Amino acid sequence: MSAFGPPRSRWVRAAVAAGVLLVLFVAFRSLRGRPVPSARVERKDLVATLVVNGRVLALRKTAVGSAVTARVTEVLVDEGARVAKGDVLARLDVSEAEAALAEARSRSAQAEAALAGLTTTSSRVAAEAHAQARLELEQARRDLQRAEALGRDGFVSDRDLEDARRAVDLAVSRETSAALTARSAAPGGAEERRVSAELAAARAAEAAASARLLLHSVRAPADGTVLTRTVERGDVVSPGTALFTVALDAETLLLAQPDERNLSSLSVGQRARASADAFPDRSFPAEVVLVSPGVDLARGTVDVRLRVPEPPPYLRPDMTLSVEIETGRKAGALVVPVASVLDPRAKPWVLVVEKGRAARRDVTLGLSGGEVAEVVAGLVEGEQVLLPAVPPVRAGERVRTVLSR
């Protein structure tokens, strides 16, 4: 037999000793509490933000076509080209339009000549003819008076007297006709009005022909970028067919749709930063320009539009984005980590340490900025709040805080 006793006895004594040590260790840990990460309540400048998904609104586009039917003689731009308002995008065959304009100008010239001739010659000739007719009427009347006097003395036959009377009637008729012609040919008369109307119609036809000639140049309606081109030289085009699609220059706008519960924190003029999902490492500034007064009943969201003052070149219509809107800013706010706040939307509370045990504390929250939230009431500076642990900490449990950085 060994001096140390049987081997089995030694193992039993060792096991008992280990058990006692374990119990002492557990008791010690229980008295001290398990370590739980914590954070100190502190003051810092707080910027409250709201992060929502968004997209780039589609650009305003317009289809550009021809207003006349003609053959394309030249195409001056291609897809991607920058154009200014009035720039020629394509030219059409102008031979027929130029011929029509030449004919219209010829008719205008003829009408102008007719009016000039009427005012310089016709009216003078008509006035002279009228004066001549009056003289002839006066002479015929004198001849009739003489014939009647001679007839009473028997020196003129009845036939000659009748001829003299007919001569007066003819002279009266000619004088009346000449008077009407003179009045018509006089300035402002019926003939001048007729010729003036013909001249006006000729000039209108000339203006229409000139305008139609201009339509043979297809022009950009506004500043923008050519997106598509569907025409080639030699094509015969007609009204109603789109030859080009031009994206019109305008402010680049973003659309975000935050939850309606955030409506009270949104306002026009708020600053924001956005980043495209395709380029997450690049961000650019934006500004809220519209908060819709209505709410989408199906989704419970509010439409918010943001202006991008200097859009980056990689932005594309309908590109998806992450938008961070600055909803508030406060200097020296009392803050805690958002992770320490439980049930934040209903009745927020945190766990603090009181006499070595976790204790529930109701709090009132203010601004929320990223990973921290403002505490308006319920905590004081310097206190520690417990952070999430595994397993979760229960109120009343003995804990030992481990301050997180």
- What is the tens place of the pLDDT at every residue in 304-335? 999 999 989 888 888 999 999 998 888 999 99
Radius of gyration, alpha carbons of the chain: 52
Joined tokens for residue 367: 């601004």
Query: Residues 171-182: what's their mean pLDDT?
Result: 78
Does the pLDDT of residue 295 top 50, yes or no?
A: yes
Query: Per-residue pLDDT averaged across 325-349, rounded?
Result: 90
Q: What share of the chain is helix, strand, coil (3-state, %, to 5)?
A: 35, 35, 30
Strand 242-248 versus strand 384-386 pairing type:
unpaired
d(CA 353, CA 398): 9
Q: What is the band of 131 on the pLDDT scale with cuts at 50, 70, 90?
A: confident
What is the rounded CA–CA span in Å between residue 107 and residue 35?
A: 105
Residue in this structure with the two tokens 């319920």, named with its chain if needed: 378
Which one is predicted more confidently, 283 or 162? Answer: 283
The mean pLDDT of 74-82, rounded to a whole number, is: 93
Instruction: Give alpha helix (H) positions in 186-234.
Output: 190-214
Token pair for residue 93? 């065959």
Edge-to-edge strand list for the sheet holding 224-229: 61-65, 242-248, 224-229, 82-83
Residue with tokens 């009431």: 377
CB proximity list for 386: less than 8 A, separation 6 or greater: 36, 37, 38, 340, 350, 351, 352, 353, 358, 393, 399, 401
Distance (Å, rounded) from C-alpha 362 to C-alpha 345? 13
Is the pLDDT confidence value at 1 over 60? no
CA distances from 267 to 48, 89, 104, 254, 381 (A): 14, 43, 61, 15, 31
**Cα dihedral across residues 306, 311, 317, 322: positive or negative:** negative
pTM for the predicted model, two decimal places = 0.50
If you average pLDDT over residues 369-375, what whole number do you get? Answer: 84
**Residue corresponding to tokens 């037999």:** 1
Helix (H) or strand (E) holding 125: helix 123-152
For strand 82-83 and strand 42-56, is the pairing parallel, antiparallel, or unpaired?
unpaired
Nearest to 201 by CA among 99, 97, 117, 114: 114
Helix, strand, or coil here: 47?
strand
Give residue 70's pLDDT: 95
The neighbour count for residue 199, using CB atoms within 10 Å, is 20
- CA 391 – CA 405 distance, rounded (Å): 21
Task: Read off φ and ψ for residue 36, nearest 5 degrees.
Answer: -135, 135
Mean pLDDT on 376-401: 91
Q: What average pLDDT does this structure show over 71-83?
A: 93
